[in-house]
């Protein structure tokens, strides 16, 4: 059941009916990770849905996009906005983008600046893009990278309890001890894990961990699916 805006944040649905019929969506208090080769596309879609009007199934709040992978694409955002009949410029103005080019910058944004920003902006969704990639930089000592990443994950879990919806896109790298450590650190703080990937003409949504719903996997043919129009931009 959706909560009225006057009562607070509502559930953020994916917007794909076959998924929404099974998955309740992301709720205030959730700290979720999305991974897979279409994780970024889903992140963009959720940003647009979060700032969309309440009447259209959106949260009607602002969104904060913390870009750790230099991945923010305004053209994709604008495409999603137009597909929902929204003004692209108005949508982009409600998504606040902060870019980080080093692990230290990303850590500073989250540990030192995010809460102050949230106190002065009506934000419902915080999305951290490529949360671990900058911490893989070998110029950062292993112990320092681990310490900073742990602090970042813990801080995001705290912010989710405000309550906010906190999402992070993630690219696992289990070829190194550093990557394996990041897996454990991140997955130890989240409460929801989603894999979203494309194989040929099939999209696969897999809910792998959730506090209320059993894991499931569903395949979605991409023909005539709105989501796929902008994925290859």
Q: What does the pLDDT read at residue 1?
A: 29
H or E segment to which residue 152 belongs: helix 142-160
Q: What does the pLDDT read at residue 108?
A: 98
Give which of 232, 182, 213, 202 is closest to 40, Cα–Cα.
232
pTM of the model: 0.91
Q: What does the pLDDT read at residue 52?
A: 92
- Out of 3.40.50.300, 3.40.50.1980, 3.50.50.60, 3.40.50.1820, which CATH number does the structure's domain 26-201+214-227 have? 3.40.50.300
Q: What does the pLDDT read at residue 171?
A: 94
Domain ranges of the chain: 26-201+214-227
For helices 177-187 and 142-160, give the axis angle rounded to 10 degrees.
Answer: 20
Burial of 143 (0-12, 13-18, 19+ CB in 10 A): exposed
Q: What does the pLDDT read at residue 7?
A: 42
Q: What does the pLDDT read at residue 5?
A: 43
Residue pair 63/108 in contact (Cβ under 8 Å)? The answer is no
Per-10-residue mean pLDDT for the chain, 233 residues long? 44 88 94 97 95 86 95 94 92 97 98 96 96 96 97 98 96 92 97 95 94 94 57 38
């Amino acid at each position: 059941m959706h909560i009225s805006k006057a009562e607070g944040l509502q559930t953020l649905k994916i917007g794909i009916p076959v998924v929404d019929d099974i998955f309740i969506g992301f709720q205030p208090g959730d700290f979720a990770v999305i991974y897979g080769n279409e994780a970024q596309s889903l992140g963009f879609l959720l940003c647009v849905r979060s700032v969309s009007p309440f009447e259209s199934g959106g949260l009607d709040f602002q969104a904060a996009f913390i870009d750790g992978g230099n991945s923010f694409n305004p053209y994709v955002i604008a495409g999603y906005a137009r597909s929902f009949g929204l003004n692209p410029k108005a949508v982009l103005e409600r998504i606040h983008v902060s870019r980080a080019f080093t692990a230290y910058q990303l850590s500073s944004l989250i540990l030192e600046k995010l809460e102050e920003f949230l106190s002065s902006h009506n934000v419902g969704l915080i999305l951290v893009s490529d949360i671990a990639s900058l911490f893989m930089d070998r110029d950062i000592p292993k112990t320092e990278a681990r310490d900073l990443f742990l602090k970042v994950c813990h801080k995001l879990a705290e912010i989710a309890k405000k309550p906010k919806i906190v999402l992070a896109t993630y690219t696992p790298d289990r070829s190194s001890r550093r990557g394996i450590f990041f897996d454990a650190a991140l997955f130890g703080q989240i409460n929801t894990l989603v894999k979203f990937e494309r194989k040929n003409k099939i999209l696969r949504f897999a809910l792998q961990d959730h506090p209320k719903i059993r894991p499931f996997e569903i395949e979605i043919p991409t023909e005539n699916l709105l989501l796929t129009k902008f994925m290859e931009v």
